[in-house]
Structure 1
Amino acid sequence: MDQDRNSLSANKGKSTHILVIRFSAMGDIAMIVPVLSVLVKKYPELTITVLTRQFFAPLFSHLPNVRIYEADLKGVHDGVLGLGTLARELREEEIDAVADLHDVLRTNVLRSLFYFYGIPFKQIDKGRSEKNALASNKKGFRQLKSTHQRYADVFADLGFPIDLSEYTPPQRRELLPKVYDLIGKQSKKWLGIAPFAQHDSKCYPTDLMEEVISDLSSKGNIKLIMFGGGESEREQLEEWEQKFDNCISVVGKLSFAEELSLISNLDAMLSMDSGNAHLAAIFGIPVISIWGVTHPFVGFKAFNQPIENCILPDLEKYPKIPTSVYGNKVPDGYEDVMRSIPPEKVVQKVLENL
């Protein structure tokens, strides 16, 4: 490890090409952005190639010397043979080192291949044991290292330490024409609402969210811009759009680049423990997040957001929270933990941030 680090550090005056691997999901990719922003600002001689889906390219478009290399994991790069093809392709890109921010089976196969090529390869320490211990209540209830810091640690292992407190959010992006056509002029406060997550246990109940939307809509000076994906989510958001004033659903109406330009111009984002919280945090937008059976102590809190903006269930009534790291395990009696969060509390926190 030390030899790899020293050889790369000795090359700091020259261009060093680092491959960054993170395949999915949206929130995990978004959390890379502040880390790379600090990295390329401190080490402008670096060239960064992010191995991920091309869909995520707009996230990195403002960062100098950062580009996307698409991993076609369902096509030419599928399986062990496909990963062999991918490794050969990347070797031709003259990679000097690899930062694996994912640590899954696919990246472990790539690690073996890059080792064969003699290219330094450092992996994230996900802290699985301490996260599982926290989720199973085997250890003291405490804040664990953030995912952002775990990402930064990988670059430190490669000889490029960074201080994430030096992060400066990018300027708000220019609103693209289609966003103007859909949202209209910015005469009111713009509140993003992302009421969905991968697991139902991380979603605020629909009837309570409707109360929140109704209350905020009635204020008259707030435009509620609702984000989601998929047919069922689209239908629910369109129902609220029709039912309440000042509500607009953008599902299926904007490209990802257009959504990012919109998110960067919000006044605040109300989100679950989900990807939209991390997208807004990139731009320094205040994020109010609602948590169910997960907890920000596990390390997935949106970047630079105060813990006071994380709205939690009644932890005295539900002491087993977090019940799992990702929200996919719900013990008996914990199905309705979010119902211990009154809508008035959510509305008040939103208004405080607006």
Structure 2
Amino acid sequence: MRIDEVETFTAGGALYVRLTTDTGVQGIGESTCFGWPVAVEEVVRSFRSYLVGADPFDAEAHWLHLYRTLCFRGMVVVGAISAIDQALWDIRGRPFEVPVWQLLGGRSRRAVRAMKVIRGDSAAAVADAAAGAMAAGYTAAKVILYGHEHHTMRHAARLADLVERFTAIRDTVGWDLDVGIELHRNMAPGDAVQLCEEIAPLRPYFVEDPIPPDSVLAFGEVGARVRVPLAAGERNTTIWEFREYACQPGVSYLRPDVGVAGGITHVRKICALAEAHHQGILPHAVPSGPVATAAHVHLGIAVPNWEAQEHVEQDGGPASDLVKAVVPLVDGWLYPPDAPGLGVELDEEGLARTPVRAIGVGAPLREDGSVAIR
């Protein structure tokens, strides 16, 4: 079996890849580099001359060939490799008529716990959203706690509002919903430490990305000073980057994204790295499309330290136009496909109807006009 054709489709914030072999077997994958999917498409096209004629079963060798040719790093390059790698695993399962999770070692669990992503611009709004998630059957939720409005608040007022929002959630749902906090890389180390200390009694499931991802050492300095579990990694792309986070104090969860962190081949290595450090996996899965979601679920079924997977319902939404069927969500749990490979198929008509989503460029500003995130 040899790869005979490499096709690309841009839709929404994703770049989808479809590989077809000379025997007619096809595999699909998704890059989740949602800011620049067209750039990812060009990288995939540059890989075409290498891929055509190659054995699709040699995923590990192909990963290294594509990554080490020039040793360029970053989400655009590894996003392209990630989509190709998912497609190779999809192909691998089809001749054997087994799902990818079987190829990864079989079940560690029956279903993957979905973590509802919620947001709101006030304490009442986030509390209502948390209550809605709980009523829908979710046992875990992640709140986008830090909003653009916080950048123009005074220091004390900002912290007070953030604490008020999380307090409102706890007052509404009690202790029966695991609630993680997303700070979206918006705070300086000192501010993040102060906030973590104030919310610690409210028992957050985790605090994610309290500071920008530029410095692993700075993240470790925050981790050494707080008492809450920290989560990091959604903007990271390789085991070498994740290894540095895994070794930092306070990091309890790693957050690889199968669409930018090297596909299935690489993410399962990141999971093993975390397991060796007694860390859990909370994959970055929003705003993933339906193919990356499926790839995450296959990994989550097989990986023992896969804790929960952030999720926004896809059935009936834009994602359901891109494939013939999405991974089912039932009472807050994602169930793995039993069909061969990834178990999802692209819908070309739906892809053609879905334009590339434009991403506006511009960081949030302070009241003096300077960039707020430093």
Normalising to structure 1: TM-score of the pair?
A: 0.28
